[in-house]
Amino acid sequence: PQHAGISLLRVLLGFAVGAGAGLALGAAMGLSRRVDDHVRPLFTAIAQVPALAWIPLAMLLLGIGETLKIVVIAKAAFVPVAMNTSAGIANVPRALVEVGETFRFSPLQMLRHVVLPGAVPPIFTGLRYGLTHAWIALVSVELLASSEGLGYLLVWGRQMFWLDTVLVAMIVIGIIGFASDKLLAAVEARLQRWRTDGV
């Protein structure tokens, strides 16, 4: 339980940072063609480098403490969240936008009542992918640079030939990841009740 709690806290912190930054950048890219034109080339280049490939450089700059783990997890979550948020906002159906224009919504009202509700499905797809990538990054960075956590248990169990420890750690990672994904799916379903309520 102690190792699972440590890993879960790392994922929550890293995912919060990465997803928050991804939502902000993705929204800016989706809402502004100018921002998208200036940012997308650099963003695409960064996105092509897997989070795990950043670990050696991050170790040189940040050491092997908690900051390293949070940064690697955040980067893993950041890319899919930003990509899906940008695509979701940019591809909101024109019919919905026209409804907002008919009611003469202000830009803020258009964002709140039309753009964001219309972009909920791709945004949450990005969040769910981001959470999955965050768990993968967590286990990988704990395998390489940690003395606690579920990834560390996998390494320790392998070194000591404790197959039961390795299997239990894998099962716990799977259960927590599955539960986290289901939680996001439930939140998404709640936010999309207007789709069924309006039928």
Residue 122: strand, helix, or coil: helix
Taking the C-alpha atoms of residue 170 and residue 173, their distance in angstroms, rounded to an integer, is 5
Does residue 121 register a pLDDT over 60? yes
What integer is the mean pLDDT of 99-106?
Answer: 79
Read off the pLDDT of residues 20-78 as tens digits, 9 standing for 90 and up. Answer: 999 999 988 888 889 889 998 988 888 888 877 888 888 888 887 888 889 999 999 99
What integer is the mean pLDDT of 175-195?
Answer: 81
Q: Which two tokens stand for residue 79?
A: 């890319």
Taking the C-alpha atoms of residue 156 and residue 91, their distance in angstroms, rounded to an integer, is 47
Taking the C-alpha atoms of residue 106 and residue 98, their distance in angstroms, rounded to an integer, is 13
Does residue 145 register a pLDDT over 60? yes
Residue 4: strand, helix, or coil: helix
**Domains of the chain (ranges plus CATH)?**
9-146 (1.10.3720.10)
Does residue 199 register a pLDDT over 70? no
What integer is the mean pLDDT of 145-164?
Answer: 83
Does residue 122 register a pLDDT over 70? yes
Q: Which two tokens stand for residue 46?
A: 């960064």
What integer is the mean pLDDT of 149-165?
Answer: 85
Confidence band, pLDDT 50/70/90 cuts, at residue 180:
confident
Residue 98: strand, helix, or coil: helix
Percent of the chain with pLDDT over 90: 20
Confidence band, pLDDT 50/70/90 cuts, at residue 195:
low
**pTM beyond 0.75, yes or no:** yes
Does residue 110 register a pLDDT over 50? yes
Does residue 18 register a pLDDT over 90? yes
